[in-house]
Structure 1
Amino acid sequence: MTAIMDYLALMGKLKKIENDSSLDGDARFYQEFVALKARYNFSATDVLRLLRPAASVAAPSLVQDLFEALLSEEKLAAAANSTTKPLRRYRNPHTGEVVETRGSNHGRLKEWKTQYGADVLPTWREL
């Protein structure tokens, strides 16, 4: 009975994917990609090396592997380009309360600045 339920669930997912409007664009891209690979006698590895020459790539055996490799490279590049502020911790010596923030617009920090003064707050920062 479990196999039938799995089958029906997969059929439902398939129908949902078939009705997705982005499937047409993806299918068109895939067909053009395969046609260009065949026309120029390129493997998926060759294409990936053309698109990402600096990347060290293991030979993808399928087009799906190529897409996954491109996505992982894209995610790594996006993560490397992000400029996240460092997390700062402030401990109130009067109450022992700790605030962790990446910016100075934290509501509790503003309250402390008003209550104890803005010049005291940097001394409460923990390294």
Structure 2
Amino acid sequence: MSKILEFRATEEAIIELQAKLDALKGNQGLQEELEFEQKLRQLMQEHGKTLRDINLILDPQTYQQAAQASQRPQQSRRPREAKRYRNPYTHEVVVTKGGNQRTLKAWKEQFGAEVVESWLEGAQQEEPLASAG
């Protein structure tokens, strides 16, 4: 956009805004609100109160709820439960909260992840029981 077009567009916007401003200045409702605001600010200054103090007087529940919300502890993730794996061949036990444990990784590479997961204690054993005979 050329500078002259930008200048004319800005000039037109200013004229429109000035017309809106003049219309608002003549609005009786606006005059009443401005007068109320001025008197309220004088009263607050006279008594040494802030808008926060006024809001607390008029609507204490909102501020009590906000205070309670800020006092609540931050909820974090639930801690992981430890899993216990028992190697049926060596009877070695590994207890871990994650899958990044060195021995567990080695077992998964050697026997496969599905087989090692079946060693999880508390899970159903998929291996057949040896018969006595």
TM-score (norm 2): 0.39
Structure of greater Rg: 2
